[in-house]
Structure 1
Amino acid sequence: MSSKAKVARIALSASAAALGSIATYWTLLALRQGHILFDARKHPVVHLSDDFSTYSHTVPGGMVRGYVYHPQGEEALQDLFIYFAGRGEDVRATAQALHWLPEGFGFAAINYRGVADSEGHPSEVASVQDACQFANHLRRALPNARLHVVGRSLGTGVAIQLVARQSFSSLQLVTPYDSMLEVAKRRFPLVPLSLLLRHQFNSLAHSREVAAKTQVLLAETDDVVLPERSEKLIAAWPTPVSVQTIPGSNHHSIMGLEATWLHLIDFALTTVLPEPKAA
C-alpha cells in the first residue's frame, strides 16, 4: 500500500471515529435531555422550620414534593407567591431567603420531578402538569389568598404556561428567556437541537395567552440567559410589562438578594385593588 493510500485510510478512520463520537454524543443528549436540562439530581437535605407545611402528589416513578410557607398560619395569608425554580434548584434552599417577606405573605413551591426530593422523570410537559395540579391544590387549601406566580430562569417557562392556562393576580419573571431552544443553541452550537430538543419551552409562543399583570426582573450581569433572549420576550409581551434590573446581581445570585424580594413584594401589592371609598 502506498504512503498516500495509508494516509487516506488513516484520515478516513479518524473521520469515522469522530462521526461515531458525535453520533454517540447526540444520542446521549437525545435520551438524557430531560435530566440534563433540569439538572435532575439529589441534594443535601435542607431542614425547614415549623412555618412550612408539606405537599405531595403521585407521579409515575414516585412523588412530587413541595412546601408552603405560612409563618402566621394559613388563615393569615393574604398573598402567596407560587414559585417555579431554576435549573437544578432545590426550593428548600431558596426558602432560606423568605425572612424578607412581610406579614401576610406566604411562599409555595415544588421541586421538579427528579430534582432534590422529588421523584420521577423530568420533562416540560410534566413540569407544567405538576404546576397546574399544585396551583389547583393551593386554590382549594387557601381560598382567601391572592395567588402570584413567580418563575426564575428555567422556571419562567413553567410559570408562563401555567398563567396561560389559569388566572392569577400577577406574574413575575426573573431572568426569563424567549425559548429554551435559543438558550441551548449557545451551549451546544454543533448539535441539531431543533430536531433533538423535546423540551423547548417556547415562552414566546405561550406568552400570547397571558393576560396577568407582569413584571420582569433582570440580572445586572447574566452569562446564562443573555440579555437578547430576555429582551426578545419582553418586546413581544402582549400586555404592559414592568422591567427592573437588580443592581449587583448575576444569574445565580439574584434570588438571594433583598432587592429582588422587595421588587417581588412591591409589585404584588400593586395588584391589590384599593378598598372602595365610603359613600
Structure 2
Amino acid sequence: MSSNKVFRIALSASAAAIGSLAAYWTLLATRQGDILFNARKLPVVHLSDDFSTYSHIVPGGMVRGYVYHPDGEAALQDLFIYFAGRSEDVRATAQMLHWLPQGFGFAAINYRGVADSQGHPSEIASVEDAVQFANHLRRAFPHARLHVVGRSLGTGVAIQLVAQQNFASLQLVTPYDTLLEVAKRRFPLVPLSLLLRHRFDSLAHSAEVAATTQVLLAAQDDVVPHERSEKLIAAWPTPVSVQTIPDSDHYNIMELEATWLHLIDFALTAILPEPVAAALEAAA
C-alpha cells in the first residue's frame, strides 16, 4: 500500500473521529438538561392511600409530587422534603418509607420530564419547582418541622433551596462540590467548562446555608468520588455531621435501613442555629 493511500486513510479516520466528537458535543450542548436528569417516562408505581398528590403547572405540562402522612395532617410532626438523584422516580423511593416512625412524613416531586412529570428539566427549573413545592408544604402543614434531604444530583437542588429558606435541618446523601467536577471525570474529552450550563455549584451556594447539616456517604462510590464530597464538607459554613453507611454504594444507599435511621435520628436531634431560631421565633 502506497504512503499516499495510508495517509488518506488516516486522514479520513481522523476526520470521522473529529466529526463524531463534534456531533456528541453538539448533542450535549443542545439536550444536556434531558441527558443530565435522564428525563424519561418510567413504569407506573402504585402508592397506598397514605399518600396525597401534588402538582403545579410548568411549560409543557405538570410537575407531579407525592406527600406521605399516614397518621393524618394533624399528627405530622416532622416532614422530609426529598430531592432525588438522576433518573430516580420518587414513587419508587417511597416504597422505603416503612422505616419512618410515627409522626414522620415524606414529600417529593419528580423533576420535569422524569417519570410522571412533564416539561424540560434544568438546574433553574428544578430549584424553582423546589421553592414552589416547599411553599406549598409550609401552607399545608404549618405545624410540622421541615427537613430537606437531597441525594446525589438532588443535593444541588436541596442546597440551593436551603440557601433561600429556613428549615429545621439539611441532610445530603452522596453530595458533590460542583457537578462540573463530577462530570469532568466521566467525560474527560468533552470541553465541559464551555458546554455545561447546569453546573450545580454547591460549593458557592453553601455559603448561604444556615441549617444544621448532616452528610451521608456511601462506603463505595464510583459516581461521586469521596474527594468531591470532602471538598464540599471542608468548606461548609456550619458544623456538619458526617456518617458513612456500611455496605452501601451510590445506587443502593437509599434502599438501606441504616440510611433512614441516620436521617431520622438527625432530624429528631437537629437544633436550629441561634440566629435562625431567634428569627423564626420573632416571625411567629
Query: Are positions 1:83 and 2:85 aligned together?
Result: no
The secondary structure found in structure 1 opposite 2:161 is helix
Map of 2:281 onto structure 1: none
Quote the Cα distance in structure 1 between the aligned partners of 2:138 and 2:262.
24
Map of 2:5 onto structure 1: 6
TM-score w.r.t. length of structure 2: 0.94
Map of 2:109 onto structure 1: 110
Map of 1:277 onto structure 2: none
Offset at residue 17 of structure 1 (A): 1.6
1:1-279 residue pairs with structure 2 within 5 A?
3-271=2-270
Between 220-229 and 263-272, the greater mean CA deviation after superposition:
263-272
Offset at residue 272 of structure 1 (A): 5.5
Offset at residue 16 of structure 1 (A): 1.5
CA deviation profile, 1:83-129 (whole Å, cap 9, x unmatched): 00000000000000001111110000000000000000000000000
The secondary structure found in structure 2 opposite 1:230 is helix
Quote the Cα distance in structure 1 between the aligned partners of 2:271 and 2:213.
14
Offset at residue 6 of structure 1 (A): 2.7
CA deviation profile, 1:223-279 (whole Å, cap 9, x unmatched): 111110100000110110000011111111110111111110110011268xxxxxx
Quote the Cα distance in structure 2 between the aligned partners of 1:150 and 1:15.
47
The secondary structure found in structure 2 opposite 1:261 is helix
Give the partner amino acid of 2:261. L
Quote the Cα distance in structure 1 between the aligned partners of 2:47 and 2:161.
27
Quote the Cα distance in structure 2 between the aligned partners of 1:98 and 1:75.
19
CA deviation profile, 1:73-92 (whole Å, cap 9, x unmatched): 01110100000000000000
Quote the Cα distance in structure 2 between the aligned partners of 1:3 and 1:142.
79
Runs of 4+ in 1 over 4 A off after TM superposition: none
TM-score w.r.t. length of structure 1: 0.96
Between 5-14 and 16-25, the greater mean CA deviation after superposition:
5-14
8 A contact 2:212–2:271 mirrored in 1: no
CA deviation profile, 1:25-73 (whole Å, cap 9, x unmatched): 1101111111111011111100000000000000000000000000000
Quote the Cα distance in structure 2 between the aligned partners of 1:239 and 1:251.
25
Percent identity over paired residues: 84
Give the partner amino acid of 1:105. F
Give the partner amino acid of 1:118. S
Offset at residue 5 of structure 1 (A): 2.7
The secondary structure found in structure 1 opposite 2:65 is strand
- Name structure 1 gaps, 5 residues minimum: 274-279
Quote the Cα distance in structure 2 between the aligned partners of 1:3 and 1:241.
67
Give the partner amino acid of 1:133. Q
Quote the Cα distance in structure 1 between the aligned partners of 2:3 and 2:251.
54
CA deviation profile, 1:205-228 (whole Å, cap 9, x unmatched): 100100000000001111111110
